[in-house]
Structure 1
């Protein structure tokens, strides 16, 4: 490992992730998710609100927005792997199965590559339903901001 790689990853809270590392998280969707996402995004598609229309559609049920589904991946990368300070640079996602209200979803990420020269990680991403069926699949490239020194500085300023 070069000294520049040690410097790049040494300032991140969780350190340098390793290829093959995985993390997962699950949650149950709700009507409240739809309402909150609509409030933020302005997406009031009737497939999310009109039960009769949604049941007559190809989906056969009320479905949650794609942003709710992918949101579990935001939580995973920001809280677990790579962890605090992580932001998305690029995503390539395919939504392959709709998720209904009240369904459990499981988000998973796996580290595919880690750069030595910059705190950049490529991840395999997936969201599945409780039956293990893919709902979202793809990849993401993320940047891990150096937060260790900022957290220390913040604690000193507060003290």
Structure 2
């Protein structure tokens, strides 16, 4: 479902959930060019404070974009800004829930402020906020 600016109000929430796989990590590394051994080399990553490979932070954060572009606000929404704070590592096999909550609607400017979070079980792994442009209902 997609919303126009007239349909939005503070408190609306939408989510997208995905279990990250080995293929997701490899494909994201290929598309982004981020071949940091923390993500793709278990031998290297096992010597770090994380004790093993972790998913790209931006891979988990990209699930927020999925919510913004397909659910809330949905089709036609355009990112203007996104702030992120990475709180905990995400690993292969973790199920990440990206949650977007409308915090403020700026109808005159066709913008909406969003609280953006990612969770693994009951632990918040990413915290952030975004500003998004949202189309008006056609007349």
TM-score normalised according to structure 2 size: 0.90
CA distance in 2, matches of 1:87, 1:35: 27
SS at match of 2:80: strand
Q: Which residue of structure 1 lines up, in the alignment, with residue 96 of structure 2? A: 105
SS at match of 1:56: coil
CA contact (8 A) 1:124 1:139 kept: yes
Bigger Cα Rg: 1
Higher strand share: 2
CA distance in 2, matches of 1:53, 1:147: 52
The answer for unaligned runs of 5 or more in structure 1 is 1-12, 150-159
* Partner residue of 2:25 out of 5, 27, 34: 34
CA distance in 2, matches of 1:40, 1:147: 35
Between Structure 1 and Structure 2, how many residues are aligned? 136
How well do the aligned residues superpose, as a CA RMSD in angstroms? 1.6
Deviation at 1:41, TM superposition (A): 1.3
Does 2:112 align with 1:121?
yes
Does 2:72 align with 1:87?
no
Runs of at least 4 residues off by over 3 Å: 145-149
Distance verdict in 2 for CA 1:84–1:148, change over 3 Å: farther
1:1-159 to 2 correspondences below 5 Å:
14-15=3-4, 16-130=7-121, 132-145=122-135
